[in-house]
Amino acid sequence: MGYRELDLDLPEFHLNLKDELHKFAVEVVRPAALALDKLPPQKVIEKGSLFWQTMARMYENGYHTIYVSDEYGGMGLDALGIHIFWEEIAYGGVGFAVSLGCSCFAAFYAEMICTDPLIEKFILPFVNCKDASVMSCWGITEPEHGSDILMPGTSHFRDSKITQQLKATKKGGDWILNGQKSAWISNGPVATNCALFVNLDPAMGMAGGGICLIDLDQPGVSRGKPLDKMGQRELPQGEIFFDNVVCPGDQMIIDQQSYEAMTELTLAHANMSMGAYFTGLAQSAYDLALQYSTERLQGGRRLCEHAWVQAKLFDMFTTVEACRSFSRNVMVYNMNNTPASLQHSIASKVFCTNGAYKVASDAVQIFGGLGLSKELPIEKLFRDARAGLIEDGSNDSLSIAAGNIIVQEVYHP
C-alpha cells in the first residue's frame, strides 16, 4: 500500500532505496518474522533456522553495513537514507530491525576510534561477512540495572553507591572482566563480539564506566538460554556471563573520563533509531487495518464505510505521519550535529513507540475478534509494539532523563 512521500526534494536514490527495502520487507522479513514468532526461542537460533537464513539474506545485500562508511565498504548512507532503511526493515519485522541494528555495534564504535587494529579486527571482517557469522551486540543492561544505566547527567548516575555489576580490573596492559549482562541483551545468544559497557572506577558510580570491544568466542564467556518473551520473538535476547575474561588493553576504547559523554551519544543514537523502527511498525499496523477495513463486511457495509472506523483510521494515519516527520527530523539533525540533542532522541523514541502501540491497538480493534487471533499478523504487531515501551530504556525513565536535561538547559540554581 505504502505512504505518500511528502518530501518533494527526496532524491531518486532514496525513492529507489525505499522501494527496494519495502519489497524486501514484505516478501522476506515479514514472513520470516511471523514464522519465527511461533517457535520456541531455542529453535529460533538453531543452525540453519529461518532467523539465520533471513539474516544471511540481509548480509548478502550489504544491509548489515548500514552504519559503516563507504570508505570501509559499507552502505555509506546519509541520515535520511538511514531513516528510510530502518523504517522499511521494521515494517517487515521490528525484531529483525533491532537485531540488524545491534549486529553492527562493534564496527560502529571501531570506526569512531579508527585505529588500524580495530579496523582489522572489528570492521573489515564484519563488512566482508555475507552469512551473518560475524555479529555484534550491545552489552549494557544488567540484572540489577535497566533504564537507570541509561541516565547520564543525573545525580543518580554519579552516586558511588550504585555501580555496574560487570567490573573490569587492570592487569598489566590488559583488563580482566567479571560479572554478567542481563537476559535482555539483543543478539546476546548469537553474537560473536560485543560493545560491552563495564565499570572501571566504582567510586564514580555509573559514571566510572568504560566501553570495550570484546570477542565473545573466548574462554570465560558463557551464555544463558535465549529469553522466552511476549513480543519481538524473532529477536534473540539472552544473558552473557564473564568469568576472568581477558580484554586486550587497546580494546578498552572508552575510559571513565569520557564514559558519560559516550553513554549520552550511544543513547541518542539508539533512541533515534527506535523512533525510525517504530514508525515502520506503526505504518505496517495502519496499512493492515486499512486494507482489512475495505474487505470486511459488517452491518451490511464494508467496515471502511462506517463513520467510527473512518475516524479511527484518520487518527491512526495522523499518528503515523507525525511519527515519520518527527523521527526523520531528529535523525537528520542528530547525525549532522555534535553533540547530538539527547532530549530530541528520547522524545522521538518515546513518541514513536507510544504512537506505534496506540496504532497497533486501534488496528486490533478494527480487526475485532480476528485481531486477537494468532492466524493474522496484527496480533504480533501489537505485542511487538508493547515491547517498545520498555526496550532501550523504559519510556517512564527516559522521560525523567529528558526532563532533567530540558530543565538543566535553562535553570541553574
Residue 384 sits in a domain whose CATH number is: 1.20.140.10
Answer whether residue 334 is part of any domain: yes
Q: In whole angstroms, what is the distance from residue 170 CA to residue 176 CA?
A: 6
> Each residue of 358-380: pLDDT tens digit?
999 999 999 999 999 999 999 99
Nearest by Cα to 343 from 157, 151, 79: 151
CA distances, 57 to each of 31, 75, 86, 191 (Å): 13, 15, 16, 17
Q: In whole angstroms, what is the distance from residue 85 CA to residue 100 CA?
A: 11
Answer whether residue 335 is part of any domain: yes
pLDDT of residue 1 exceeding 70:
no
**pLDDT of 231:** 97
**pLDDT of 150:** 86
pLDDT of residue 259 exceeding 80:
yes
**pLDDT of 156:** 85
Give the cell for residue 97: 530491525
Answer whether residue 233 is part of any domain: no
Q: Are 93 and 24 in contact (CB under 8 A)?
A: no
Answer whether residue 9 is part of any domain: no
Answer whether residue 293 is part of any domain: yes
Average pLDDT over residues 196-211: 96
Q: Which residues contact 199 (CB under 8 A, 6 or more apart)?
A: 163, 164, 165, 166, 167, 168, 206, 208, 209, 210
Model confidence pTM above 0.95: yes
> Each residue of 68-95: pLDDT tens digit?
999 999 999 999 999 999 999 999 999 9
- Write b or e for each residue in 138-155: b if 16 or more Cβ atoms lie within 10 A of its Cβ, otherwise e: bbbbbeebbbbbbbbbbe
Neighbouring CB atoms inside 10 A of 56's CB total 16
Domain containing 281 equals 260-410
Average pLDDT over residues 191-202: 97
Q: What are phi and psi of 193, to 5 degrees?
A: -145, 175
Average pLDDT over residues 304-327: 98
Element (H, E) at 269: helix 259-293
Average pLDDT over residues 273-287: 98
Average pLDDT over residues 302-316: 97
Answer whether residue 34 is part of any domain: no
Question: Locate cell 487495518: which residue?
Answer: 289
Answer whether residue 207 is part of any domain: no
Answer whether residue 204 is part of any domain: no
Domains of the chain: total: 1
**pLDDT of 398:** 95
Instruction: Name the percent of the chain lying above pLDDT 90.
Output: 95
